Structures are given as structure tokens and as C-alpha cells.
Amino acid sequence: MSAETKTEGIKLSTGAAEKVASLLAQEGRDDLSLRVAVQPGGCSGLRYQLYFDDRALDGDTVMTYGSVKVVTDKMSTPYLMGATIDFVDTIEKQGFTIDNPNAGGSCACGDSFN
């Protein structure tokens, strides 16, 4: 299995990197990466999945932000090039957001794109 390390691709904001590092510390495991994937689904056809993963798959792209590794599979990488992941914590909303220049549009719920 080979994983390719790149310096371009998904960007992780400082706030998102800090939140992911905090969540990883709660898990108590240093072998986990944040995997970001694009899967079929949602109202607009495609949806994002973010989860912790200890696997390295053939063709994975790996980006490192401090102590946080962000991994994408070879099918998702083209959809995510140039995307920025941020963490928002306001009265109205709390969670990760993805600003993706490749998304032609998204649904009202904000969970899927095309």
C-alpha cells in the first residue's frame, strides 16, 4: 500500500486543526488520521464524510497539519482539491464546514453538493 504525501489539496484551518487534535487526544490514540471522503448521497448527489481512520489505503493522499494527518482516497481527491475545512463554534452552529471551489452547487441543508 502506498500513500502519497502532498502539500496541496485539502486545507485545514487553524481552528479545524486544533479541534481535530483535541478530538484525537480524547480518543487517546496517535495512530488515527482524519479521513475526508466524498460519497454518493444527499439531495445534490454527493456528500462529505469525515471520520477518524487508522487505515492506509492504496492511492491515499496524506496532508499533515501539525500533529493532524488528513487523508483522502484516490476517488475523493479530485473533488476535494483546493477545499478548506474549518471548524465553526457559534450560537447558531457548531461543527466542521467545507468550502469547496469544485462544488457546482449545494442543497439548503448544506450536507451535500454537486
- Domain residue ranges in the chain: 3-101
- Give the CATH H-level superfamily of domain 3-101: HesB-like domain (2.60.300.12)
Taking the whole predicted model, whether its pTM rises above 0.85 is answered as: no
Specify whether the CB–CB gap between 100 and 85 falls below 8 A. no
Q: What percent of the chain has pLDDT over 90?
A: 54
Give residue-wise pLDDT tens across range 22-65: 999 999 988 999 999 988 866 557 888 999 999 989 999 999 99
Instruction: Pick the closest to residue 18 from 96, 83, 91 (CA basis).
Output: 96
